[in-house]
Amino acid sequence: MIDSTLNYLGGSSAISIGVLVLLSAYFILVFWIFIYKYFKLSSDVTTEINNLNSLLARESTINPLSRLGQCLSRTTVSKEYLNVCETTLIRDASSGISWLSIISSTAPFIGLFGTVVGILESFARFSTASKVSFATIAPAISEALVATAAGIFVAIFAYTFHQILTRKVYELNTYLKSQIDIILSRK
């Protein structure tokens, strides 16, 4: 496995290697964003669920650990202020998630670019040969397709993680709206 990888990289151009390095960086970034945001959003959702449950149990105080509670501790309660607070909390919770969408849409194109360059280089090598058979062309084409496969691989994870995190932000927003409705009904 290591030998075939080194042979592949040794026979690749700087552009093909650059494409694979960029896709590798994308892959690492996708997992870093997902892990960080997933655990942060899960923690926020759990806190807001607990705060909503305490509000439903008719407790008069809002948990100071709640993101909504932190927002409310600064001023008097009004519908307008609560809406601004909710918007700010959701904007903060969803920051960085758009990068997953960007990566999921650009990674296949970056991989395709690497494939096109690899195929062009292969045909340039074959232009000097007098006879070229399918057995000669097939390995070169298959090596060039590695970049497209890598781009699609990265895009699958980025898109999936984007959808998971978008759902978590939706859950957080639902619990915030429920708390705001309860707070306003008691006013």
Q: Quick one: pLDDT band at residue 102, thresholds 50, 70, 90?
A: very high
Question: Which structural domain range is residue 153 located in?
Answer: 25-186
Examine residue 18 and state whether it is found in any structural domain, yes or no: no
At residue 75, the pLDDT reads: 66
What single letter denotes the amino acid at residue 161?
F
Average pLDDT over residues 89-107: 94
10 lies in a domain?
Answer: no
Contact 151, 111 (CB under 8 A): yes
The predicted pLDDT at position 8 comes to: 63
- Domain assignment present for 4: no
Please report whether residue 6 resides in a domain.
no
pLDDT value at residue 7: 66
Helix axes 14-56, 79-94, angle to 10 degrees: 150
pLDDT at 109 over 80: yes
Residue 2 domain-assigned? no
Q: Pick 111 or 72 by higher pLDDT.
A: 111
In-domain check, residue 17: no
What is the C-alpha separation between 98 and 45, in angstroms, rounded?
20
Instruction: Judge whether residue 11 has pLDDT over 70.
Output: no
Q: Give the C-alpha distances (Å, rounded to integers) separating 131 from 83, 122, 123, 134.
A: 72, 14, 13, 10
20 in a domain, yes or no? no
How many domains are there within the chain? 1
Kindly state whether residue 12 falls inside one of the protein's structural domains: no
CA 10 to chain CA mean position, Å: 31
